[in-house]
């Protein structure tokens, strides 16, 4: 779950603090309060805050003096100054001492929320520019894609072919194969490298929230929309938008997305104005989109719009020759992070790693190496450290169901149902209905209620699964 930004409110009026706490909490912020400047500075010595809302007229130390101290304690922390004194001198002095913005009582809460949204956007932009500078001066995303195998060389070649061309790219591969790394490599090796790279996981949030994240919303568009919000399309203007797990997108959102791709403009929820957007789409999925199109879970026209150029990432089990280089890379990258001095792995440990199936692909390997490095007493990872990291033998592969035996078991029941048919009957619906609900319950039980895992096991889209669960009257935990 994404961490909520925390705001420190400093004001000696309890009623004003209450109003700000209520409004900011509703808008998705965590709020800490202080009645006077010294208490606020004590809090700031203990930890940083996303932003500070500071009254000028405070008992003891004034807000203007506190503003200067905050600049020394927490450089770069945005401070929004509020005061009942609507004087030009206060405004000038507050901005001179480093205030991010200035508001006069009585103020509109929406103005505060809009200022905080600008702070958030500025921080995202600064982080992106920092990443750009790092990429331009030190690290190419391609360097994080380790592999000398023929399969990976083909991937690198395809990235080079498509990066400079303004075309939509569909990146396909199992979970953990590095699809976002490919998207970043395409972006940072394209003419859009100076623009933003914005990523959104289409399977990580409910459809209603995803719609707001993608397209933005106007104030009052729905309950809780207390201020205007720019969507990811707007934030990606001039750059690239990475749509991860596009195969899990709800049907209604697929329609809206298709329109944006066709018209190259976006409308915020509750808005009336069409905003032009210049965005390159990079999409990724581990879903069989062709099968999803045949089932009606994915729009065929959107599929063709996205599937202009495809890059297929091989699973780790198909390129075991890359594993030694990957292990070396993860050790080298993790040493500074953990403060360890691991040099490598023993031949026995490497042999064990190479014979593992790696269902979680490169991400699973990285986690395994990190855990082993945390537990390693020396400079070399052996079998003991690998085992201690929770790594064991390759997971057992489920045996396929013997189809003939299955049909033989079910056939007598089907014959009885057919024998009971009247002249007019909806036999197909009855048979499917009799089998579908128990199947859904069994699969949910096996996946402990995890709908995404259940959908993958069944070979259907998660939205389709939710629809079938509703139709069957099966109660589920909506958070899973």
Closest CA to 242 of 232, 251, 250, 230: 232
φ/ψ of residue 150, rounded to 5: -60, -40
DSSP class of residue 221?
S
Domains of the chain: 6-119 (3.40.50.2300), 139-312 (3.40.50.300), 317-388 (1.10.8.60), 403-472 (1.10.10.60)
Is the Cβ–Cβ distance between 105 and 84 less than 8 Å?
A: yes
Q: Which residue has the higher pLDDT, 431 or 1?
A: 431
What are the residue ranges of helices labelled H in 196-340?
207-215, 232-235, 251-263, 289-295, 300-306, 323-338
* pLDDT at residue number 427: 67
DSSP class of residue 448?
T
How many whole angstroms separate alpha carbon 324 and alpha carbon 308?
A: 34
Q: pLDDT tens digits for 257-283?
A: 999 999 999 988 888 888 899 999 999
- With a cut of 50, say whether residue 395 has pLDDT above it: no
How many whole angstroms separate alpha carbon 286 and alpha carbon 64?
A: 54
Q: pLDDT tens digits for 21-73?
A: 999 998 889 999 999 999 999 999 998 999 999 998 888 898 889 998 998 88
CA distances from 468 to 167, 295, 471, 478 (A): 36, 13, 5, 14
Percentage, residues of the chain above pLDDT 90: 33
* pLDDT at residue number 396: 38
Q: pLDDT tens digits for 88-97?
A: 566 667 777 8
- With a cut of 90, say whether residue 179 has pLDDT above it: yes
Is the Cβ–Cβ distance between 168 and 281 less than 8 Å?
A: yes
Is the Cβ–Cβ distance between 35 and 63 less than 8 Å?
A: no
* pLDDT at residue number 415: 65
For the segment 77-84, the average pLDDT, to the nearest whole number, is 86
For the segment 194-205, the average pLDDT, to the nearest whole number, is 88
How many whole angstroms separate alpha carbon 347 and alpha carbon 329?
A: 16
* pLDDT at residue number 139: 47
Q: Among the listed ranges 157-161, 173-177, 347-351, 435-439, which one has the minimum average pLDDT value? A: 435-439
For the segment 120-149, the average pLDDT, to the nearest whole number, is 63
> Quick one: tokens of 34?
């202080």
Closest CA to 159 of 323, 360, 278, 313: 313
What is the chain's mean pLDDT, rounded?
82
Q: Among the listed ranges 98-107, 250-259, 310-319, 355-364, which one has the minimum average pLDDT value? A: 98-107
Q: Which residue has the higher pLDDT, 359 or 125?
A: 359
Closest CA to 458 of 442, 479, 476: 442
* pLDDT at residue number 91: 65
- With a cut of 70, say whether residue 391 has pLDDT above it: no
How many whole angstroms separate alpha carbon 189 and alpha carbon 280?
A: 13
- With a cut of 70, say whether residue 382 has pLDDT above it: yes
How many whole angstroms separate alpha carbon 1 and alpha carbon 276?
A: 31
Is the Cβ–Cβ distance between 248 and 298 less than 8 Å?
A: no
* pLDDT at residue number 402: 45
Is the Cβ–Cβ distance between 292 and 130 less than 8 Å?
A: no
Is the Cβ–Cβ distance between 62 and 93 less than 8 Å?
A: no
Helices (H) and strands (E) in the chain, counts: 20, 14
CB proximity list for 103: less than 8 A, separation 6 or greater: 80, 81, 82, 83, 111, 112, 115
How many whole angstroms separate alpha carbon 122 and alpha carbon 100?
A: 11
Q: Is 272 helix (H, G, I), strand (E, B) or coil?
A: coil
Q: Which residue has the higher pLDDT, 43 or 427?
A: 43
pLDDT band at 453 (very low <50, low <70, confident <90, very high): confident
Q: Which residue has the higher pLDDT, 92 or 233?
A: 233
- With a cut of 90, say whether residue 20 has pLDDT above it: yes
- With a cut of 90, say whether residue 455 has pLDDT above it: no
Is the Cβ–Cβ distance between 50 and 3 less than 8 Å?
A: no
* pLDDT at residue number 142: 57
Q: Among the listed ranges 3-12, 180-189, 452-461, which one has the minimum average pLDDT value? A: 452-461
């Amino acid at each position: 779950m994404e961490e909520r930004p925390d705001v420190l409110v400093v004001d000696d009026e309890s009623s004003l603090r209450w109003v700000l706490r209520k409004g900011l909490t509703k808008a998705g912020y965590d709020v800490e309060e202080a009645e006077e400047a010294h208490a606020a500075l004590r809090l700031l010595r203990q930890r940083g805050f996303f932003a500070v809302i500071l009254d000028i007229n405070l008992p003891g130390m004034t807000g203007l003096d506190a503003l200067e101290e905050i600049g020394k304690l927490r450089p770069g922390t945005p401070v929004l100054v509020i005061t009942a004194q609507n004087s030009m001198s206060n405004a000038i002095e507050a901005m001179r001492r480093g205030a991010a913005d200035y508001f006069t009582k009585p103020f509109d809460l929406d103005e505060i929320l809009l200022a905080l949204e600008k702070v958030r956007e500025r921080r995202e932009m600064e982080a992106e520019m920092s990443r750009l500078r790092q990429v331009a001066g030190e690290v190419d995303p391609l360097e994080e894609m380790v592999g000398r195998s023929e399969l990976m060389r083909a991937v690198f070649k395809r990235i080079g072919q498509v990066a400079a061309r303004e075309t939509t790219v569909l990146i396909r591969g199992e979970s953990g194969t590095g699809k976002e790394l490919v998207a970043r490599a395409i972006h940072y090796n394209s003419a859009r490298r100076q623009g933003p790279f914005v990523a959104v996981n289409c399977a990580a949030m409910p459809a209603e929230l995803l719609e707001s994240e993608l397209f933005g919303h106007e104030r009052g568009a729905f309950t809780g929309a207390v201020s205007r919000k720019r969507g990811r399309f707007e934030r990606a203007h001039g750059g690239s938008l990475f749509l991860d797990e596009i195969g899990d997108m709800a049907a209604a959102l697929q329609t809206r997305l298709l329109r944006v791709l066709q018209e190259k403009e976006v409308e915020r929820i509750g808005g009336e104005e069409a905003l032009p957007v210049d965005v390159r789409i990079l999409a990724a999925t581990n879903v069989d989109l062709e099968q999803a199109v045949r089932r009606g879970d994915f729009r065929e026209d959107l599929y063709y719009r996205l599937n202009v150029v495809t890059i297929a990432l091989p699973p780790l089990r198909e390129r075991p020759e890359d594993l030694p280089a990957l292990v070396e890379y993860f050790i080298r990258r993790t040493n500074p992070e953990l403060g360890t001095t691991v040099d490598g792995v023993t031949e026995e440990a490497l042999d064990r790693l190479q014979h593992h199936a790696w269902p979680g692909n490169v991400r699973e390997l990285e986690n395994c190496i990190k855990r082993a490095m945390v537990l390693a007493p020396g400079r070399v990872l052996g079998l003991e450290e690998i085992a201690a990291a929770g790594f064991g033998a390759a997971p057992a592969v489920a045996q396929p169901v013997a189809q003939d035996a299955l049909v033989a078991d079910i056939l007598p029941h089907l014959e009885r149902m057919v024998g009971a048919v009247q002249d007019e009957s909806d036999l197909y619906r009855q048979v499917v209905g009799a089998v579908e609900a128990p199947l859904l319950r069994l699969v949910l039980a096996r996946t402990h209620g995890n709908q995404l895992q259940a959908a993958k096991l069944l070979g259907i889209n998660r939205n389709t699964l939710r629809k079938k669960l509703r139709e069957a009257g099966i109660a589920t935990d909506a958070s899973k």
